[in-house]
Amino acid sequence: MTAVTLPTTGGSVRASARTVSRQRAIRRFKLVLMTPLIALFLGLLTPVLLLQLYFSFHEWTVYLGSWWDAEFVGFDMFANVFTDPRFGWAIVRSLAFAAGSTIGCFLFGFLLAYLMYRPFRGQAIYYIIFILPMLTVPVVVAYTAEMLLYRNGPINDLISVLTGTNFQVAWLSNPHLALATVALLEIWNWTPFSFIILLAGLAAIPKEPIEAAEILGASKWQIFWHVQLPLLRPVILLALILRFLEAMAEFPKTWALFQGGPGTATETLPIYIFITTWQYFQISKGAAMSYVVMVMMVGIVLFAIHMLRREKRSLDVMYGTAAGNLE
Amino acid sequence: MTMTKSRRRRATTIIRYAVLSIWAVIAFFPIYWMVSTSFKPSTQWFSWPPIYFPDPPTLSNYMNVWLGAEEYDQAQYAISSQKPLISMWNSTVIATTSTFLSVLFGSMLAYGVSRYRILSEARMFQLLMLRMIPPIVVVAPLSLYYSALGLLDTRIGLILVYFLTTLPYAVWMTKSFIDEVPREIEQAAEILGASRWRIIFEIILPLIRSGLVATFLFILILTWSEYLLALIITKTQVSTLPIELSKYQGSTEGRVYGRQAALAVGITVPLMIVGLVIRKHLARGFSFGMVRR
Amino acid sequence: MARIELINLNKSFGAVQAVRNLNFTIEDGEFVVFVGPSGCGKTTTLRMIAGFEDPNSGEIRIDGRVVNDLEPRDRDIGMVFQSHALFPHKNVAQNIEFGLRMKKVSPEERVKRVREVAEMMRISHLLDKMPGQCSGGESQRVALARTLVTNPSTFLLDEPLSSLDAKLRRELRAECDRLHQELKRTFIFVTHDQEEAMTLADRIVVMRDGEIVQVGSPMEIYADPVNYFVADFFGSPSMNLVPGEFVRTGDGLRFRSASFDIALPARFETVSPGKGTLGIRPEHVRIDPGAEDCVHLTVRLIEPLGKDTLLYFDVPGDRAFVAVREGLHMTDVRIGQPMAINLDAHCIHLFDGEGRRIAVPRVA
């Protein structure tokens, strides 16, 4: 180091030239770390979102010549979307599907986690079996479901044998049942998710408060209700929120198994957007619909994030990772 | 209290094993069915009553699907256009490359967030939006944008999209590992003369390497099984395994369950191996590192 | 060579002012100990010298050169951390070698210097081990070796001994002392343990609430604490501090509290009456029934320490009044027994209502 700054006066100090350069070095370092993210945002995400905005206001289908010559139609596309009853029903189906499967995953996952969070013989084996559904590719789940659920298929057969009745449910062709079938598949597929998260949460609860409650004479139920459940709240919310959002986006199983059918019975938002765009080739309507869904989802996600941020803090306390302890 | 403590304990134990075993059957049966169907000759694919154990087990489905060996079975079930091995190669290249990029740059970002706060807490949560908003809402413009760039139906196109969509997981998950590294270790390196980059590559990343492996494998699971984006971006040149599998659905030859199952087993087995290797870290992964074990 | 000047340093974390207007100079080759209760700003000060924290204002100079703007690695300092901060994924030899590698020392030279330093710290047998396999004391020796090998002009030690047990702590304390004697480098040591400060320091800097309370040699600090806080902090058992009142009577100034009523020595003649505290170290409390102006207190607890015995007396308030007697004189004292004690007049400290020492020239 050759640059030696010798200030003439001792007391008052301003940022010297070197300070600025050190700070600049840190800034440059930060910028380099950020570069890939910035590049992806500017190069990929922003153009795509702008393009979508363009299509929402310009009518274009693949039959209408070059897309950059498309006619400006103002809010016509949005009007079209909002007056389309199929879109309304798609929203209803999506919400029902997401809510139902989320609750299902949570209940089963919680039951299993509660039965398993303390060590017992065979715990490891059960754990491995329980997470297998999550490790099955969703498309595979769909096709395996088809092999299992046809009218004379093994599931109906097994239920018939076990109940001694002639159980013949049309899981795949009954329009009143189709969405429930997908929801059941979603529950089968993702209960492991709720299970592992809640298991980790239960296992992370410190033993001392529970033991203290036991000594004070609390029953198992009281301990669960007054000690474990409040401590587990952030984990429960996390499991519910993440599962709900994933379920809103569910596409592969529904599409591979039903393509929205029978009729429109499984036409959830992702499916309807897909059909509009890739089967009817109404790119602009699809874009407008996408924008509406995106705004709706951003709303839901912002609310979810608000909840997550609050709960994340309790989680950090729970896992003892309070940041920035000075001295 | 009417029951003694030991009797009550035995009752809970019995209930526990009963419930867990029922669920174990529910969880395992579909997977068993897929595997057993893959070994069934075509006459047993959907016979009535259903056949639970392939008799005799045959490898012909695997031969046909993976090796294109039609002579092993009746010709009418063979689908000549399928190229599962090529798809497997595509899937492998696309999944590993995008995952590698995601983990490498994600961990560097995570380091910056953890130590230099390059993203505020609010920004970190906004990053999650990339993952939480259904990808369907952008696939149409994405496909047009890609066709303009010539990225449609290319591996690079898919790699870039997967890189973007898995980045939130990579950042959050590796950050949860980096947060656990005591800062004094870095400061010791710093005062001994290590530069910022050397601290990342010689201290931080080696220290969290098991966490990096877990993150890598976790994201691999996501990219390996992704369906929607692959469906839109790949057409004829490049197809991934989930897309290859879905081609059977549209085939005119009818339901070829044995073949589908043989292909499905091929797609699923690598995923399950990976998943079981990192089973202890799955909770951390799926919860963006918010839940630790 | 390293003379470190801290000029008008300020550092705050949010609303908390960790260091307040700190001015201090550490001479070359000096062993300075910063001591104080946790949260007093001593570690923040050390970390500012190291460069891990940027002061909000003020200047840090090493040998006259302002280093505020230098990266920690360019400041020619070594640092030993409380948690020893060894790299867990490198073995002991690689840990020690790290600094040399960063300075681009040739491999042969590195091997040689690592071996020398390991010998000096008596850890040659550990070189192939991983940090996880070393005990707490061994780890701290390795951490010292890792710092030593780069030969910095200044050593910063951040509570390096506080994670060790009492015996190891004494052992490594002696080690630090030896290193300072041999290397003749500047040592800056941070601790909350007054005993460490007393035994190691050339000069002690007592800090509290981000400010320097007193600077001095261990003996000065012990014998002439500037205020109640320093008096209380140093010494074990700590100084007896009795709250009460200074009262002027016909025959001079007296100190009065619920259990004391004694005449103060003539050197306190100028002290103005009012509330205050009387301080006397336990070793200056004499048990002497014959003396005039003695105080009668009841023994509450007898604590034999081996060489000495501590006698705790009942006084009102939350702290006991302690006296030290040499040897194991237990047969002649019983709990509950009233005793006459007398204070060594030369060693009485007085503190005013705000806790400041009432400075009076000492009688020779």
- Which of A144, A150, A197 has its CB closest to that of B286? A197
Please state the domain extents for chain C. 4-231, 239-352
CA-based nearest residue to A169, from A153, A183, A145: A153
The CA-atom distances, in angstroms, between B178 and each of A318, B164, C251 are 18, 21, 72
Assign B250 a pLDDT band (cuts: 50, 70, 90). Answer: low
Assign B58 a pLDDT band (cuts: 50, 70, 90). Answer: confident
Predicted local confidence at residue A208, as pLDDT: 85
Number of H helices, E strands in chain A: 14, 2
Beta carbons of B282 and B219 less than 8 angstroms apart:
no
pLDDT of A326 strictly over 50: no
In the three-class reduction of DSSP (H, G, I as helix; E, B as strand; rest coil), residue C323 is classed as: strand
Q: How many residues does chain C have?
A: 364
Higher per-residue pLDDT: C258 or A110? A110
CB of B229 less than 8 A from some CB of A: no
pLDDT of B76 strictly over 60: no
The residue among B77, B107, B131 that closes a domain is B77
B-chain CB neighbours of A153 within 8 Å are 46, 50
Predicted local confidence at residue B78, as pLDDT: 44
Residue B293 forms part of a structural domain: no
- CATH at B197: 1.10.3720.10
Predicted local confidence at residue B251, as pLDDT: 52
Predicted local confidence at residue C337, as pLDDT: 83
Question: In percent, how much of chain C has pLDDT > 70?
Answer: 97
CB of C66 less than 8 A from some CB of B: no
pLDDT of A206 strictly over 80: yes
Cα separation, B43 vs A136, whole angstroms: 26
- Which of B140, B144, B287 has its CB closest to that of A238? B287
Residue B69 forms part of a structural domain: yes
| CA distance, residue A20 to nearest chain B CA (Å) | 17
> Does residue B166 sit in the same domain as residue B279?
yes
Predicted local confidence at residue B174, as pLDDT: 94
The CA-atom distances, in angstroms, between C296 and each of C238, C261, C303, C322, C330 are 21, 10, 20, 13, 19
Question: In percent, how much of chain B has pLDDT > 70?
Answer: 91
A-chain CB neighbours of B20 within 8 Å are 112, 115-116, 126
Assign A210 a pLDDT band (cuts: 50, 70, 90). Answer: confident
Q: What residues of chain C, 45 to 104, have a C-beta less than 8 Å from chain A?
A: 57-59, 64-66, 68-71, 74
pLDDT of A7 strictly over 50: no
Predicted local confidence at residue C248, as pLDDT: 86
pLDDT of C364 strictly over 80: no
DSSP classification of residue A42: I
Q: What mean pLDDT value characterizes chain C?
A: 89
DSSP classification of residue C351: E
Looking at chain C, which subunits does it touch, using at least 3 CB pairs closer than 8 Å as the criterion?
A, B
Beta carbons of C155 and C186 less than 8 angstroms apart:
yes
The residue among B52, B77, B102 that closes a domain is B77
Q: For the residues C277-296, what does the mean pLDDT come to?
A: 82
Predicted local confidence at residue A250, as pLDDT: 93
- Among chain C residues, the shortest Cα distance to B184 is held by C85
Q: For the residues C304-325, what does the mean pLDDT come to?
A: 85
| CA distance, residue A118 to nearest chain B CA (Å) | 12
Predicted local confidence at residue B249, as pLDDT: 65
Assign B145 a pLDDT band (cuts: 50, 70, 90). Answer: very high
B-chain CB neighbours of A255 within 8 Å are 227-228
Per-residue pLDDT tens over the stretch B39-57: 888 777 877 777 788 888 8
Predicted local confidence at residue B69, as pLDDT: 58
pLDDT of B263 strictly over 50: yes
B-chain CB neighbours of A199 within 8 Å are 283
pLDDT of B68 strictly over 90: no
Q: For the residues C232-237, what does the mean pLDDT come to?
A: 88
Centroid of chain to Cα B42: 30
Higher per-residue pLDDT: C35 or C334? C35
pLDDT of A34 strictly over 80: yes
pLDDT of A30 strictly over 90: yes
> Does residue B188 sit in the same domain as residue B267?
yes
- Residue A208's contacts (CB-CB under 8 Å, 6 or more residues apart) are none
Higher per-residue pLDDT: A147 or B236? A147
> Does residue B249 sit in the same domain as residue B279?
yes
Q: For the residues C69-81, what does the mean pLDDT come to?
A: 90
In the three-class reduction of DSSP (H, G, I as helix; E, B as strand; rest coil), residue C117 is classed as: helix
| CA distance, residue A146 to nearest chain B CA (Å) | 9
Cα separation, A158 vs B25, whole angstroms: 12
Predicted local confidence at residue A9, as pLDDT: 36
Measured at the CA of A110, the angle between CA A104 and CA A116, to 5 degrees, comes to 140
Higher per-residue pLDDT: C244 or A9? C244
Beta carbons of B188 and C147 less than 8 angstroms apart:
no
Instruction: List, as one string, the DSSP characters of B18-70.
Output: HHHHHHHHHHHHHHHHHHHHHTS-GGGTT-SSPPSS-SS--SHHHHHHHH--G
CA-based nearest residue to B256, from B76, B107, B89, B132: B76
End-to-end CA distance of chain B: 37
Q: Is the peptide bond before B57 cis (omega within 30 degrees of 0)?
A: no
pLDDT of A60 strictly over 90: no
CB of C44 less than 8 A from some CB of A: yes
- Which of C7, C68, C74 has its CB closest to that of A10? C7
Q: For the residues B87-96, what does the mean pLDDT come to?
A: 92
CA-based nearest residue to C154, from C24, C7, C29, C6: C29
Q: What mean pLDDT value characterizes chain A?
A: 85
> Does residue B150 sit in the same domain as residue B20?
no
> Does residue B73 sit in the same domain as residue B140?
no
Cα separation, B285 vs B278, whole angstroms: 10
Helices A85-116 and A178-204: crossing angle in degrees, nearest 10, is 40
CA-based nearest residue to B262, from B86, B57, B96, B26: B57
Predicted local confidence at residue C329, as pLDDT: 62
- Which of B13, B23, B271 has its CB closest to that of A137? B271
Question: In percent, how much of chain C has pLDDT > 90?
Answer: 50
Predicted local confidence at residue B280, as pLDDT: 86
pLDDT of C131 strictly over 60: yes
> Does residue B108 sit in the same domain as residue B208?
yes
Looking at chain A, which subunits does it touch, using at least 3 CB pairs closer than 8 Å as the criterion?
B, C
A-chain CB neighbours of B27 within 8 Å are 129-130, 132-133, 188, 191-192
Any idea which of A61-75, A130-144, B190-204 has the lowest mean pLDDT? A61-75
Residue B115 forms part of a structural domain: yes
| CA distance, residue B87 to nearest chain A CA (Å) | 15
- Which of C39, C41, C71 has its CB closest to that of A22? C71
| CA distance, residue C102 to nearest chain B CA (Å) | 5
- Which of B31, B224, B291 has its CB closest to that of A235? B291
Tokens 């017992």 belong to A120
CB of B210 less than 8 A from some CB of C: no
- Which of C102, C105, C144, C190 is the best substitution to test chain B (most B C-beta atoms within 10 A)? C102
Number of H helices, E strands in chain C: 8, 20
pLDDT of A257 strictly over 50: yes
Cβ distance B24 to A130 less than 8 Å, yes or no, reads yes
Cβ distance B191 to C72 less than 8 Å, yes or no, reads yes
Looking at the 3D structure of chain B, how many domains does it have? 2
Instruction: List, as one string, the DSSP characters of A254-268.
Output: HHHHHTT-STTTT--
- Which of A33, A138, A235 has its CB closest to that of B112? A33
Assign B293 a pLDDT band (cuts: 50, 70, 90). Answer: low
What b/e readout covers A59-79, taking b as 16+ CB neighbours within 10 angstroms?
Answer: bbbeeeeebeebeebeebbbe
Predicted local confidence at residue C69, as pLDDT: 86
Predicted local confidence at residue B107, as pLDDT: 95
CATH code of C239-352, in short, is: 2.40.50.140
The 3-class secondary structure across A149-211, one letter per residue, is HCCCCHHHHHHHHHHCCCCCCCCCCCCCCHHHHHHHHHHHHHHHHHHHHHHHHHHHCCHHHHH
Q: What is the ipTM of this complex?
A: 0.88
Give φ, ψ of C82 to 5 degrees.
Answer: -60, -40
What is the maximal distance between C-alpha atoms in chain B? 77
pLDDT of B72 strictly over 70: no
C-chain CB neighbours of A20 within 8 Å are 69
Any idea which of A291-300, B71-80, C86-95, C322-331 has the lowest mean pLDDT? B71-80
Residue B58 forms part of a structural domain: yes
> Does residue B170 sit in the same domain as residue B39?
no
Cα separation, B108 vs B93, whole angstroms: 22
Cβ distance B194 to C98 less than 8 Å, yes or no, reads yes
Q: What mean pLDDT value characterizes chain B?
A: 86
Residue B196 forms part of a structural domain: yes
| CA distance, residue A322 to nearest chain B CA (Å) | 10
Assign B3 a pLDDT band (cuts: 50, 70, 90). Answer: low
Per-residue pLDDT tens over the stretch C97-126: 999 999 999 999 999 999 999 999 999 999
Beta carbons of C87 and B203 less than 8 angstroms apart:
yes
CB of C3 less than 8 A from some CB of A: no
Assign A317 a pLDDT band (cuts: 50, 70, 90). Answer: confident
Any idea which of A197-206, B215-224, C178-187, C313-322 has the lowest mean pLDDT? C313-322
The CATH-assigned architecture of domain C4-231 is 3-Layer(aba) Sandwich (3.40)
List the strands of the sheet with C16-26, edge to edge.
Answer: C16-26, C4-13, C57-62, C65-66
**Complete domains list, chain A, with CATH:** 84-206+232-281 (1.10.3720.10)
What b/e readout covers A25-37, taking b as 16+ CB neighbours within 10 angstroms?
Answer: eeeebbeebbebb
Cα separation, C197 vs C218, whole angstroms: 8
> Does residue B203 sit in the same domain as residue B178?
yes
Cα separation, A202 vs A123, whole angstroms: 15
Looking at chain B, which subunits does it touch, using at least 3 CB pairs closer than 8 Å as the criterion?
A, C
Assign A4 a pLDDT band (cuts: 50, 70, 90). Answer: very low
Cβ distance B187 to C72 less than 8 Å, yes or no, reads yes
Predicted local confidence at residue C1, as pLDDT: 65
Q: Name beta bridge partners: C7.
A: C59
Assign C361 a pLDDT band (cuts: 50, 70, 90). Answer: low
pLDDT of A82 strictly over 70: yes
Beta carbons of C50 and C73 less than 8 angstroms apart:
no
B38: containing domain? 5-77
Cα separation, B121 vs B30, whole angstroms: 42
- Residue A162's contacts (CB-CB under 8 Å, 6 or more residues apart) are none
Assign A71 a pLDDT band (cuts: 50, 70, 90). Answer: confident
